Structure 1
């Protein structure tokens, strides 16, 4: 690899349970790549079953990065994750390795791929807004955001109090709409490709239901029990993960098991629809059918289409780049 021929950045995106993990591993094997996690909850140690984290035995020997970084009691920050992920991607490319990003957190993915700078923070202001959130609830704070920054409010679900607090903090700090700091549809490096796993809704709904059942069979309740002892309930971020809050309610005697399962299925389906809507708005995503026999070849063709872009040459590409597949040993 030369400086003028860096590895492409490949991101596999789409709804939860669509089949992103399998495709990302297929791509990593064919491209001589390594996996970079972009799931906001898989950064937590011990959150394995409920986040569908691929067990080590199922990773096909492909190295994985940015998993198990934090204890559940620690808050996660997309700004900190952006820095870690971009450093990881740069290190992989410097070694001639193709980074294959995979995860369902659209904001984390965009924060890595796109031009996206985070405004600063103010601890006192943040504390005041969080106290207001506790006092009046997320809906009231979201209504305030809708008055001062309608565009940002339209992108944040009313129940997500933490993101609403962050948006209001930025508005007060900068005097500009929070939406002005959101990522634009412009890759930080033009040698980037997003591959979306396209799946029909009935099939996805059935897969989500099957996944939830498998999680209970694989020990989700015991996992949540352990994490509650480790401080899960007091976490500002990990405690909001789908599946964990419902099982915590089950363990507290607030829900029966059947109701907890049903709530997880419903919440996951809603989340999957939001994921799909977010990625569908991005015209740069190349979609491949989840069940197409040639889906890997289609994905590889999408990767090949960015190989010719020279991110180091003034004004863009001037010729084809090298083959991004790892050469055979020997």
Structure 2
């Protein structure tokens, strides 16, 4: 039974309780959960990514977890395709799709009109060699003539090369591919709910989470993943905490130093997440520690 139930998007910083709320809303709305956390795509990266256990999922179907092996590189464009397919599939069963995760770009890729321009490795290498030999001045001038908007915004050499590459491949200005805060028609209707929390309390929760992860067996998990190639994994190796724990396991640091470094890095990441999501005026914010959190979230959905 096809429905046009809203896509519920739960956003906010790490450790604010998005997963628990997603499960609660799924029970209330006959929903299923779609993961938008890029590091939870990887098989075996469970404890360190705070991936919901089977018990924590409480029988609710969760999608786009454990879809990649470590040696695969996560792709925003591929996620966009998969997430939208899951939304259509869930709606076709008469259920409510609930997307949750702290990866802001992945969430926008699923919800918004967002195009991904093509790439050409050979052309990019040629442009990179030109810059190495001649400098970037001539590419900047080319960009000014074909895409003054991008030329004004972009100062980084790598992105200048990318902008010229896109124009030469498509004939379209790179700036024309920039995302807009406009939901894709296939996703409508959409309700975005953000979980906010006092900064001091968030820092406390992050510290508690890291300590709990270690207690739950995170270090043995990293040892196993190292044997499977984590150190050379193109995307998975960049997950916050895993690099720190790998350093501990090869005796480059102590366990406590690795934990402290993970806590600091996670706090920084949380601030970036808050900045990203707060810039979107469509997000309806509620207190993550409110005793009636689920009721508030349901009220937001009903009133939207």
TM-score (norm 1): 0.79
Are 2:177 and 1:181 equivalent residues in the alignment? yes
How far the C-alpha of 1:182 sits from its partner, in A, is 3.1
8 Å contact from structure 1 (residues 121, 170) kept in 2: no
Structure 1 pair 129–97 and aligned structure 2 pair: CA distance change class (3 A): farther
Structure 1 pair 213–192 and aligned structure 2 pair: CA distance change class (3 A): same
Report Cα offsets for 1:85-129 as digits up to 9, x if no partner.
Answer: 110111111111100011110000000000111111113245678
| Aligned CA-pair RMSD | 2.6
- What residue in structure 2 maps to residue 326 of structure 1? none
Are 2:15 and 1:22 equivalent residues in the alignment? no
How far the C-alpha of 1:7 sits from its partner, in A, is 1.0
Structure 1 pair 167–236 and aligned structure 2 pair: CA distance change class (3 A): farther
8 Å contact from structure 1 (residues 167, 178) kept in 2: no
Q: Residues of 2 paired with 1:171 and 1:284: CA distance?
A: 33
Q: Which secondary structure does the structure 1 equivalent of 2:16 belong to?
A: coil
Query: Once superposed, which parts of structure 1, at least 4 consecutive aligned residues long, lie more than 6 Å away?
Result: 128-132
Q: Which secondary structure does the structure 2 equivalent of 1:41 belong to?
A: helix
Q: 1:172 aligns with which of 158, 165, 179?
A: 165
How far the C-alpha of 1:151 sits from its partner, in A, is 3.9
8 Å contact from structure 1 (residues 41, 51) kept in 2: yes
Q: Residues of 1 paired with 2:183 and 2:225: CA distance?
A: 37
Q: Residues of 2 paired with 1:122 and 1:71: CA distance?
A: 25
Q: Residues of 1 paired with 2:80 and 2:91: CA distance?
A: 16
Q: 1:240 aligns with which of 238, 241, 248?
A: 238
Q: Which secondary structure does the structure 2 equivalent of 1:263 belong to?
A: helix
- What residue in structure 1 maps to residue 9 of structure 2? 11
8 Å contact from structure 2 (residues 30, 96) kept in 1: yes
Q: Residues of 1 paired with 2:106 and 2:76: CA distance?
A: 6
8 Å contact from structure 1 (residues 152, 177) kept in 2: no
TM-score (norm 2): 0.86
Q: Which segments of 5 or more consecutive residues in structure 1 lack a partner in the other structure?
A: 136-140, 159-163, 307-330
Q: Which segments of 5 or more consecutive residues in structure 2 lack a partner in the other structure?
A: 145-149
Residue correspondences, number: 285
Structure 1 pair 129–243 and aligned structure 2 pair: CA distance change class (3 A): farther
Report Cα offsets for 1:212-265 as digits up to 9, x if no partner.
Answer: 111111111111111111111112211100011111111121111111111000
- What residue in structure 2 maps to residue 263 of structure 1? 261
Moved more, 286-295 or 123-132: 123-132
Q: Which secondary structure does the structure 1 equivalent of 2:39 belong to?
A: coil
Q: Which secondary structure does the structure 2 equivalent of 1:68 belong to?
A: coil
